[in-house]
Amino acid sequence: IAGITQAPTSQILAAGRRMTLRCTQDMRHNAMYWYRQDLGLGLRLIHYSNTAGTTGKGEVPDGYSVSRANTDDFPLTLASAVPSQTSVYFCASSDQAGVGEQYFGPGTRLTVT
Amino acid sequence: SQQGEEDPQALSIQEGENATMNCSYKTSINNLQWYRQNSGRGLVHLILIRSNEREKHSGRLRVTLDTSKKSSSLLITASRAADTASYFCATLDSNYQLIWGAGTKLIIKP
């Protein structure tokens, strides 16, 4: 593979359930990001990681957690899903934080009922 | 909060015409980037312009940046059906994170 993969592609989740969205990149990029995209609002940053072992909060972090145990993987966890978390979630990476372009995964469409 | 605001929200033109999209932002920036998103897909980087640059070209794309007006424009010349997509601008803030606009939806009619 080349680039970023995300899993699952889509998911319907009952409110209150726990869910982890997976993201893996094979470009050895240092920085990784999680965004949510809602209609008419563009992308909003949830959490980011500038390098393995570190994470930071973005614009809309509440209800989400991340970990960065190694360079390649950056999972996003919803501890107790709520309907307002219904969205399309994109994982992205860049060689270094704040430098150059970001590469995006195909997205995960999540519906919380 | 959104940094970039694209204008127009939607644009429909005939194949072969030029398409111009604009982006305005609020604070000082390090660079400004344009991305394309085809329906149901992830975003793809198109072009990056640094704050000390005024114009940049890449194939049929031309980007301008006016830091005094806090605005940028993306011009796609000789549009093709495959250019149908949503286009987003993003600016790098002081925390080195990208802040995104809501996008312009471009439709190229055959």
B contacts of A4 (beta carbons < 8 Å): 42
C-beta atoms of B96 and A97 within 8 A: yes
In terms of phi and psi (left: phi > 0; alpha: psi -120 to 50; beta: otherwise), the region of A28 is left
A contacts of B103 (beta carbons < 8 Å): 42
A13-72 pLDDT per residue, tens = 999 999 999 999 999 999 999 999 998 778 999 999 999 999 999 999 999 999 999 999
Mutation site for A-interface testing, chosen from B88, B96, B105 by largest number of A Cβ within 10 Å: B96
B9-21 pLDDT per residue, tens = 999 999 999 999 9
User: Which residues, 6+ apart, have CB-to-CB distance to A62 below 8 Å?
Assistant: none
Predicted pLDDT of residue B34: 96
Beta strands in A1-113 (DSSP E): 4-7, 10-13, 19-25, 31-38, 42-49, 56-57, 64-66, 76-78, 87-94, 103-104, 108-112
Nearest by CB to B45, which of A35, A59, A102?
A: A102
CA-nearest residue to B10 within chain A is A40
